[in-house]
Amino acid sequence: MSTLNDGKKKVTIYSVAHEAGVSLATVSRVINDSSLVKEETRKRVEEAIVKLGYRPNAIAQGLALKKTTTIALVIPDSSFLYMGKIINGLLDVAKIYKYNIALHTTSSSINEMSEIIDNIVKSRADGVIVYNDCLTEQEVAVLNSFSTPMVYIGHKIKADEACNVFVDYKKALYELTDKYIQEGYKDIVLIEDKKNPMMMDELLQGIKKGFKKHNKEFAGLIEIPDNYHNSYDYLNEYFKDNKHQLVITVRDSQAMAVLNACTENGISIPEETDLVCVMDSRYTDMVRPRISSFFIPSYDLGALAMRVMTKMLNDDEVKEKEYQLSYIYKNKASTKV
Amino acid sequence: MSTLNDGKKKVTIYSVAHEAGVSLATVSRVINDSSLVKEETRKRVEEAIVKLGYRPNAIAQGLALKKTTTIALVIPDSSFLYMGKIINGLLDVAKIYKYNIALHTTSSSINEMSEIIDNIVKSRADGVIVYNDCLTEQEVAVLNSFSTPMVYIGHKIKADEACNVFVDYKKALYELTDKYIQEGYKDIVLIEDKKNPMMMDELLQGIKKGFKKHNKEFAGLIEIPDNYHNSYDYLNEYFKDNKHQLVITVRDSQAMAVLNACTENGISIPEETDLVCVMDSRYTDMVRPRISSFFIPSYDLGALAMRVMTKMLNDDEVKEKEYQLSYIYKNKASTKV
DNA sequence: ACTTACTTTGAAAACTTTTTCAATTAATTA
DNA sequence: TAATTAATTGAAAAAGTTTTCAAAGTAAGT
């Protein structure tokens, strides 16, 4: 473990230059691996650096270079479980390319986004990665209007120039619906998820398309309260009088609420009702019966987003703007089909 | 939504000064709400600011002020679920005090911590908050040796001067063990969690203390593989030949692995075996039977850590170094006692 | 009208780097 | 040996703020 500057005396590039008997310019060159410094001098400077425990001041570098090697990550403050894997992907790639991550979270409050943008602009992040499920079109427009490189994770963005990394949920639900209708299922419902409005929209489109293909109309959207406990209570009442052939939920907690509510009302899954959770999580495999779900490559979403960002920052002309990752449907014990 | 500098022309404090017909000093004073600027001048400057869409450059400010209003957060890269709530607490408080958060994650690889420290020193974070379950004593020593304010979350730190916010897991497990032994339980086991070595240590101490009180020796530590699937497979074999009166696990996934393995081997919970998960999560309530657990105030751990940090940064002499938060035992359906 | 005190402003230094450009030294060639 | 070229180095400017100190302006008191 190397010597640390413990604050007793600030050590700057000047101190190092003085210690090594060279000018700042030379020290700077050594720090930045410039080839044009004599081997012997380099050695002297490097010795001075370790002797003094010098660490370049990234802030001063940022000022001089007009870049911060920091990228801002904007995510909804809820649900770190799903986000967690995305963040892990992001961070692993960021580490490779030596970028720092500044974390910004949005709650649903209206004016917050503009505050966050303000903050990001002030802090001069080199780029911004946004998980965009909760952004209004207006907010996306604002974000796009400013010149910092930007990558959106999660959903296809309408704006043409926007760069985004996403999964085609519409297609996923279309395929699922199609399959089930072909199997003769008629009574298919989708549980609404208010936390993910944009994804919800895509899912709905997919289902509707599936129904349309078979000349049917989808009318099975079920609105339920927001959090697990309320939704569980609600569903517990609901399944006293209702029963469906296939129930689709977005998040694992909703699927578990359905599972519990059904079971406790004597509706057995999968015998009487098939249950599919769109977004996979480790917990869909831990519960019994295991819940059929789509594997969403969250880690890859994060990693790719960051990779694309690094390309943008290196002016490696980013040809593609849209990176679509594929899901995998995992048929487990909560479905018969 | 305010005007944004869209990068066509950089607008600095100079531009504003020029536009308003004053000197930089005056603009700076306006930005920083200094009282010594005439009302009329202030108005002129403010108009210039919105006209040009000026945003102070936080990097330049950082250099001039020798502070960054950024605090570094160091957490293990695994398990954002538990961390998520801590981070939410942190971020909410950080937002109030206008601090930015730089996210650093540690994987278990050996040399990484020193790299991260390097990085934090370079980036001149005003303070560091560390979730310290995976740090070696050596690493803690290194961290303490440097002068940046530091707050540890999670566990009591040996070093005296260290500031930490934690939950007394030892006491929690002592109480639990004591209660169960009083109820006549003899065969108590603890499932090891390699991901949280320090917590593990505390838990063990607590259990041992409980056994000691009753003049018994604890010898029920069960080592299992690391991730859910492996540990589930392992336990599935294990519970073919073994059965215990009380099984204690650290994380929800382990509890679920035990629950599933037991159930599938015909051991019913709680009738034959009591199951307790130390760290509560929403999922312990979603599974059936609901798993008894300790409610850990994760959000508060994060929020308090950040609050303490802001105090340290304001030189409000922080009297207390140790902030102990209390857990709540939640008796649910996986236990008879 | 003339100090005295207070309010408001600006010039310039400081914060720590990178980088350009010119200068110096060393090496090569005629 | 002188002239040319190449390799190293350093001085100084630039990045965009804050802040100190002095100056200028204004009001008040004698």
A260-291 confidence digits (pLDDT tens): 999 999 999 999 999 999 999 999 999 999 99
Residues B36 and B105 in one domain: no
> Residue B4 and residue A79: Cβ atoms within 8 Å?
no
Q: What are the helix (H) ranges across A97-158?
A: 112-123, 137-145
Cα gap A59→B55, rounded to integer Å: 17
Closest listed residue to residue B248, CA positions, set B191, B171, B169: B191
| Structure confidence at residue B3 (pLDDT) | 36
- Asked if pLDDT for residue A108 goes beyond 70, the answer is no
What are the φ/ψ torsions at residue B93 (nearest 5 degrees)?
Answer: -70, -40
The gap from C-alpha A252 to its chain's centroid, in whole angstroms, comes to: 17
| Structure confidence at residue A90 (pLDDT) | 94
- List CB contacts (< 8 A) between B62 and chain A: 59, 62
Burial of A313 (0-12, 13-18, 19+ CB in 10 A): middle
Q: What are the helix (H) ranges across A158-316?
A: 169-182, 197-213, 228-241, 252-264, 282-286, 298-313
Q: Residue B262's domain is classified under what CATH number?
A: 3.40.50.2300
Q: What angle do CA B285, B290, B296 make, to 5 degrees?
A: 55
> Residue B102 and residue A105: Cβ atoms within 8 Å?
no
Whole-angstrom CA distances from A221 to A204, A205, A273, B161 are 8, 12, 16, 57
| Structure confidence at residue A4 (pLDDT) | 38
Chain A interface, mutation test: which of B80, B113, B139, B230, most A Cβ atoms within 10 Å? B80
- The pLDDT-based confidence of A150 (bands split at 50, 70, 90) is very high
Question: Is A38 part of a structural domain of the chain?
Answer: yes
Question: Is A139 part of a structural domain of the chain?
Answer: yes
Question: Is A30 part of a structural domain of the chain?
Answer: yes
- Name the one residue in this structure whose structure tokens are 């002030």: A122
Q: What residue numbers bound the domain in which A109 lies?
A: 67-167+298-325
Residues B159 and B177 in one domain: no
Residues 2-61 of A with CB under 7 A from strand D: 21-26, 29, 36-41, 60
Strand ranges (E), chain B: 70-76, 100-106, 127-131, 150-154, 163-167, 188-191, 221-222, 246-249, 274-279, 292-295, 322-325, 328-330
Residues 61-100 of B with CB under 7 A from strand D: 61, 63-65
Number of domains in chain A: 3
Residues 124-153 of B with CB under 7 A from strand D: none
Q: Residue B19's domain is classified under what CATH number?
A: 1.10.260.40
Give the single-character DSSP code of A190: E
> Residue A147 and residue B57: Cβ atoms within 8 Å?
no
What are the φ/ψ torsions at residue B275 (nearest 5 degrees)?
Answer: -130, 125
Cβ proximity of A45 and A76 under 8 Å: no
- List CB contacts (< 8 A) between A62 and chain B: 59, 62
Q: What angle do CA A227, A228, A229 make, to 5 degrees?
A: 100
| Structure confidence at residue A110 (pLDDT) | 58
CA dihedral B160, B162, B166, B168 (to 10 degrees): -10
Q: Which bases on strand C have an atom closer than 7 Å to a protein beta carbon?
A: 7-12, 14-20
- List CB contacts (< 8 A) between B142 and chain A: 1, 4
Give the single-character DSSP code of B154: E
For B61, residues 6+ apart whose C-beta sits below 8 A from its C-beta are none
Residues A131 and A197 in one domain: no
Distance B127 CA to D20 C1' (A): 28
- Start-to-end CA distance of chain B, whole Å, equals 58
Chain B interface, mutation test: which of A2, A3, A4, A291, most B Cβ atoms within 10 Å? A4
CB atoms within 10 A of CB A328: 11
Q: Which amino acid, residue B294? A: F
CB atoms within 10 A of CB B335: 21
Cα gap A160→A320, rounded to integer Å: 11
Chain A interface, mutation test: which of B8, B78, B161, B283, most A Cβ atoms within 10 Å? B283
Cα gap A330→B13, rounded to integer Å: 57
Report the largest interatomic distance among the alpha carbons of chain A, rounded to a whole angstrom. Answer: 86
Question: Is B220 part of a structural domain of the chain?
Answer: yes
Closest listed residue to residue B1, CA positions, set A212, A171, A112: A112
Q: Which amino acid, residue A247? A: V
- Asked if pLDDT for residue A132 goes beyond 90, the answer is no
A127-131 and A70-76: which strand pairing? parallel
Three-class SS state of B181: helix
- Asked if pLDDT for residue A242 goes beyond 90, the answer is yes
Question: Is B331 part of a structural domain of the chain?
Answer: no
- The pLDDT-based confidence of A142 (bands split at 50, 70, 90) is confident
- The pLDDT-based confidence of A244 (bands split at 50, 70, 90) is very high
> Residue B260 and residue A62: Cβ atoms within 8 Å?
no
- Asked if pLDDT for residue A78 goes beyond 70, the answer is no
Q: What is the mean pLDDT of chain A?
A: 90
Size of chain A, expressed as the number of residues it contains = 337
Residues B137 and B213 in one domain: no
Cα gap B98→A308, rounded to integer Å: 30
Q: Characterise A276 by phi-psi region: left (phi > 0), alpha (psi -120 to 50), beta (else).
A: beta
Size of chain B, expressed as the number of residues it contains = 337
What pLDDT, in 10s, does the model give residues B34-71? 777 899 999 999 999 999 999 999 999 999 999 999 99
Q: Averaged over A32-48, what is the pLDDT? A: 88
Question: Is A330 part of a structural domain of the chain?
Answer: no
Of A83, A123, A263, the CB nearest to B100: A123
Residues B204 and B214 in one domain: yes
Give the single-character DSSP code of B290: P
Residues B129 and B186 in one domain: no
Cα gap B238→A113, rounded to integer Å: 52
Residues A184 and A280 in one domain: yes
| Structure confidence at residue B79 (pLDDT) | 65
Q: Averaged over A43-59, what is the pLDDT? A: 94
The chain A residue lying nearest B121, using CA atoms, is: A55
Residues of chain B short of pLDDT 70, as ranges, are: 1-8, 78-79, 108-111, 316
What proportion of chain A, given as a percentage, has pLDDT over 90?
73
Q: Which residues pair with A103 in a beta bridge?
A: A73, B101
Cα gap B157→B322, rounded to integer Å: 9
> Residue B103 and residue A105: Cβ atoms within 8 Å?
no
Q: Which residues pair with A248 in a beta bridge?
A: A190, A276
Residue by residue, DSSP assigns B230-272 as HHHHHHHHHHHH---SEEEESSHHHHHHHHHHHHHTT--TTTT
Residues 50-109 of A with CB under 7 A from strand C: 54-57, 60-61, 63-65
Residues A41 and A99 in one domain: no
- List CB contacts (< 8 A) between A141 and chain B: none
The gap from C-alpha A282 to its chain's centroid, in whole angstroms, comes to: 17
Q: Which residues pair with B293 in a beta bridge?
A: B277, B330
Rg (CA), chain A: 26
Whole-angstrom CA distances from B178 to B188, B200, B206, B211, B334 are 11, 18, 10, 7, 18
What pLDDT, in 10s, does the model give residues B268-326? 999 999 999 999 999 999 999 999 999 999 999 999 999 999 999 987 677 788 999 99
Residues A161 and A198 in one domain: no
Question: Is B132 part of a structural domain of the chain?
Answer: yes
Residues B173 and B292 in one domain: yes
Residues A192 and A88 in one domain: no
- List CB contacts (< 8 A) between B229 and chain A: 285
- List CB contacts (< 8 A) between A229 and chain B: 285
Tokens of A197: 């409005």
| Structure confidence at residue A1 (pLDDT) | 31
Strand C close to A123 by CB, under 7 A? no
Question: Is A198 part of a structural domain of the chain?
Answer: yes
Q: State how far residue B63 is from chain A, nearest Cα, in angstroms.
A: 6
Residues B29 and B119 in one domain: no
Q: Which residues in B145-181 are b (16+ Cβ under 10 Å) and which e?
A: ebebbbbbbbbbbeeeebbbbbbbbbbbbbbbbbebb
